[in-house]
Amino acid sequence: MLRFQEISHLMALILIPVLVALFVAMIYWRRRKLKTLGDERLINTQILGFIPGRQTLRFVLLSLALVSIVIGWANLQMGSKTEKVQRKGVDVIIALDVSKSMLARDIQPNRLARAKQLVQSMIDKMKNDRVGLVVFAGKAYLQVPLTIDYSAMKMMMQNVQPDLVPTQGTVISQAVDLAMRSFSQKEKKYKSLVIISDGEDHDETAVAKVKEAAESGVIIHTVGIGSPQGTTIFDPKTQTVKLDDAGNPVISRLNEDALRSIASAGRGTYTFLRNTDNAAQKIVGEIDGMEQKSLGAVVFTDFSSYFQYFLAVGFLLLIIEWLLPGSRVKQKTEVA
């Protein structure tokens, strides 16, 4: 089994396409400058030691060196020892509201950012549970199927934004239905759904859908994000407050009654988010208190690290790039 000990460090690889774009732009800029001075081939002959493609070669070497160093930084590991262990847990799907109202700032920095912090904290407190992610607004989408790879779940959370669901609204019933289809259909228990939302503009069929899910053995908890007093919604695209059709500021309010009704119908609990860590502890505690299924499996207990090889390759490429000869303009010699 291969894994990265610090998989989040691989995000640094996004620098590569940025550097490629800058290098291509530099090449075109240099050629335009040379054309203003004269014939490009003639000018190149006046450069001592000029080798076509040398700049590209140096850039490729530097890019490969950066890739190797980043991979080394993330520390690629391989499982070297396996052990049969008995694991017990449940399947947990987190349904996260990503509608535009979640950008309201009545809870800092905004509702969606705090919701993502809550999910991260919940994952940190989980041990053996499988976890999945559903995002919803006017429609629901499965972002992460049930998995025990908590690192992958955390990395996916970083990309969650309202743009993932172009259709606006808060259709909780669709999120519940999608979660139901994502759970194992063979079992009537060991399943929990955590809905994180401001509950605003929810559909009227949500409670009926939740009761149906509860009858099939799913325990449903809800988390309320925001304030009952409400606040305006900041639109990041226009950098202004969102307005309605009449030109008035849109006020978004936390609908606690709706979320309490959903939790009651789902035989779960409702949590009003004040302190992220306390809320995560409460929800994970409720999940840990459920009847759990045996997840006995072969797991890797020892891992060998290979970061040193990638770092060595990276530094070797840097040395090769440094040793490549440079070029300089030919000096005119005067005849006495």
pLDDT of residue 321: 87
Nearest to 228 by CA among 322, 107, 128: 107
pLDDT score for 301? 58
- What's the CA gap between 154 and 279, in Å, rounded? 18
Residues 6+ apart with CB under 8 A from 186: none
**Which pLDDT does position 324 carry in this prediction?**
79
**CA–CA separation, 146 and 166 (whole Å):** 24
What pLDDT score was predicted for residue 81? 65
Distance, in Å, from the CA atom of 326 to the CA atom of 30, rounded to the nearest integer, reads: 17
Residue 304: predicted pLDDT: 81
Q: Consecutive 10-residue runs of the chain (336 residues): their mean pLDDT?
A: 81 91 87 68 55 78 94 85 69 95 91 96 92 94 91 88 82 94 86 94 85 94 94 79 81 93 96 96 94 65 82 94 65 46
What count of other Cβ atoms lies within 10 Å of the Cβ of residue 88?
15
Q: Which residues contact 3 (CB under 8 A, 6 or more apart)?
A: 76, 77, 79, 151, 303
Intra-chain end-to-end CA distance of the chain, in Å: 74
Amino acid, res. 282: K
Closest C-alpha to 49, from 250, 243, 289, 330 = 330
DSSP string for residues in 75-99: -EEEEEEEEEE--EE-EEEEEEE-S
Q: What is the pLDDT of residue 224?
A: 97
Q: Superfamily for 87-294?
A: von Willebrand factor, type A domain (3.40.50.410)
Whole-number pLDDT of residue 299 = 56
Q: Kindly report the pTM of this predicted structure.
A: 0.66
What whole-number distance in Å separates Cα of residue 56 and Cα of residue 234?
Answer: 45
The pLDDT, as a whole number, for residue 300 is 55
CB-based burial label for 142 (10 Å; 0-12, 13-18, 19+):
middle
| Per-domain boundaries in the chain | 2-81+302-329, 87-294
Tell me the torsion sign for CA atoms 57, 63, 65, 71: negative
